[in-house]
């Protein structure tokens, strides 16, 4: 995921790229759906919506949609329907950690018990001590969970806290930029840093009519070019401001660690993230750019 916009907080951008595959693998590994089904859910996307929102409790679809900002609320409601009658939030939280455990053991092998995992856990957990829950619902829900004892699970939990803290801040930046849920995914797709257009629409549940209506609205504001989905100069500047503001709002952990410890965590996390990439965890043809912690040419940088 390129970060070619200007930012006053480069550590935030670099750390996001290094850590994101380690967190987001839970949305791609087969162990996740298997464990959610064992917990009582239907196979498919119900597990994604219910397990990710479970730390907030048995919340309504509207609450989940508000925190999963670029999804169509109707899609969220469809996949969450009946979820809390099939499995409790506590059961899904346990299932999610079981899936993480199985997937990381499969991918990392003997490295699961390595000093590098323990060192990364300590650094990432220390970084989370800088985070405050105010205004950040997904992150706040995670703060009520007990820390796992196993180092690799504690590392994943710390990375997830950092990721959802950043994501909640990203929503703040999008709302401040007056970008609606569909406008946020549309403009991000237009940067070429995220989903390809067809995947953005289908994975987030937007119909052609809803997508076209949003595009017309963005053109009227001078954000998209006439008769295309390309960003104008003003649109590019708007998205760059959103990303830079997201970096700023996610900078506290890296200020706490300082440059040397932040860089050490980045190097450790990159190794784990590349292991997940090399295991074809993210080999789905829906992204405009590879889901990697660095450009492959900079893999050892």
| Per-residue pLDDT tens digits for 211-254 | 999 999 999 999 999 989 999 999 999 999 999 999 999 999 99
For the whole model, what pTM was predicted? 0.93
Distances (CA, A) of 46 to 41, 43, 92, 143, 168: 7, 7, 11, 23, 21
**Residue 14, in any domain of the structure:** yes
Q: How many domains does the chain have?
A: 1
**Residue 254, in any domain of the structure:** yes
Partners of 195 in the beta sheet?
287
- Provide the residue count of the chain: 301
Q: Rounded to whole angstroms, how far apart are CA atoms 264 and 123?
A: 9
**φ, ψ (nearest 5 deg) of residue 195:** -70, 155
Which residue range forms the structural domain that includes residue 162?
10-26+114-175+246-293
Query: Could you tell me if 66 and 180 are in contact, meaning their C-beta atoms sit under 8 angstroms apart?
Result: no
**Residue 298, in any domain of the structure:** no
**Residue 277, in any domain of the structure:** yes
One digit per residue, the tens of pLDDT, for the chain of length 301 reads: 344 666 789 899 999 999 999 999 999 999 999 999 999 999 999 999 999 999 999 999 999 999 999 999 999 999 999 999 999 999 999 999 999 999 999 999 999 999 999 999 999 999 999 999 999 999 999 999 999 999 999 999 999 999 999 999 999 999 999 999 999 999 999 998 888 899 999 999 999 999 999 999 999 999 999 989 999 999 999 999 999 999 999 999 999 999 999 999 999 999 999 999 999 998 765 454 555 676 544 444 3
Tokens read off for 210:
């809803």
């Amino acid at each position: 995921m390129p970060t070619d916009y200007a930012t006053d907080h480069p550590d935030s951008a670099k750390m996001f790229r290094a850590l994101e595959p380690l967190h987001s693998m839970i949305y791609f590994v087969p162990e996740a759906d298997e464990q959610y089904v064992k917990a009582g859910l239907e196979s498919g996307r119900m597990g994604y919506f219910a397990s990710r929102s479970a730390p907030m409790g048995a919340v309504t679809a509207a609450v989940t949609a508000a925190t999963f900002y670029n999804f169509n609320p109707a899609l969220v409601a469809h996949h969450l329907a009946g979820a809390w009658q099939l499995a409790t939030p506590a059961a899904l939280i346990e299932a999610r950690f079981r899936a993480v455990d199985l997937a990381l053991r499969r991918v990392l092998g003997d490295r699961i018990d390595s000093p590098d995992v323990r060192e990364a856990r300590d650094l990432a957990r220390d970084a989370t001590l800088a985070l405050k829950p105010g205004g950040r619902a997904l992150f706040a829900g995670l703060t009520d969970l007990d820390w796992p004892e196993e180092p690799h699970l504690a590392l994943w939990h710390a990375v997830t806290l950092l990721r959802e803290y950043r994501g909640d801040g990203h929503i703040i930046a999008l709302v401040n930029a007056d970008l609606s849920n569909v406008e946020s995914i549309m403009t991000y797709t237009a940067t070429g840093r995220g989903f390809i257009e067809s995947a953005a629409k289908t994975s987030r549940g937007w119909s052609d009519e809803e997508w076209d209506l949003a595009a017309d609205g963005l053109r009227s504001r001078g954000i998209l070019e006439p008769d295309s989905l390309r960003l104008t100069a003003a649109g590019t500047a708007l998205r760059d401001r959103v990303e830079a503001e997201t970096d700023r709002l996610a900078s506290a952990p890296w200020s706490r660690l300082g440059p040397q410890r932040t860089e050490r965590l980045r190097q450790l996390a990159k190794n784990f993230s590349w292991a997940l990439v090399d295991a074809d965890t993210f080999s789905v043809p829906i992204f405009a750019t590879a889901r990697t912690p660095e450009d492959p040419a900079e893999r050892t940088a």
